[in-house]
Amino acid sequence: MEKKDIPQDTSPLKNMTREVYYVKNSDGKYETGLSAGWVVKNEALENAWEDINEQVRAAKQAVLTGEKSPIYYYFVLQLMDYNVLSGYTGFWKFSIKKHMTSKGFKKLSDQKIEIYAKVFNITVDELKNFNH
């Protein structure tokens, strides 16, 4: 890639930084240049987020129908996997799976609810009274 070809498309990075690219200068030698972003990459990221948003909508629906508990919703919303949530809460994966069913959720102690609320950075009330 040549220096003049560095893409300068508006991207989600716009208020944070520009990125370093390694490109050929007019003498055919490598140097660095800065890119504001590349539309091809932006579209891949957008696509990934559209998919995430869809999963969040489905998760919300699953909570509303009583199939899943609010813990599942926040787990999806905050892009977690079991490693992440288990790491933050200290609970085993199989316990977390139980807490993600509405039946398991109802049996949760206040203390555990508090741990989850803290990890999700929401109030106990928000977690208990799902309202989205």
20-25 CB contacts, 8 Å cutoff, 24+ apart? none
Segment near other proteins (CB under 8 A), from 40-48, 56-64, 91-99, 100-108? 40-48
Q: Which is nearer to other proteins, 35 or 95 (CB)?
A: 35
- Does the protein bind other proteins through residue 15 (CB under 8 A)? yes
Q: Are 126 and 117 in contact (CB under 8 A)?
A: yes
Q: Are 61 and 91 in contact (CB under 8 A)?
A: no
- Does the protein bind other proteins through residue 34 (CB under 8 A)? yes
Helix or strand (DSSP H, E) at 6: none
- Does the protein bind other proteins through residue 41 (CB under 8 A)? yes
Q: Which residues are CB-contacts of 106 (< 8 A; sequence separation ≥ 6)?
A: none
Segment near other proteins (CB under 8 A), from 34-42, 65-73, 100-108, 109-117? 34-42
- Does the protein bind other proteins through residue 25 (CB under 8 A)? no
Nearest to 72 by CA among 52, 50, 47, 102: 102
Binding residues (CB under 8 A) for other proteins: these are 1, 12-13, 15-24, 29-30, 32, 34-35, 38-41, 43-45, 47-49, 51-52, 78-81, 83-84, 86-88
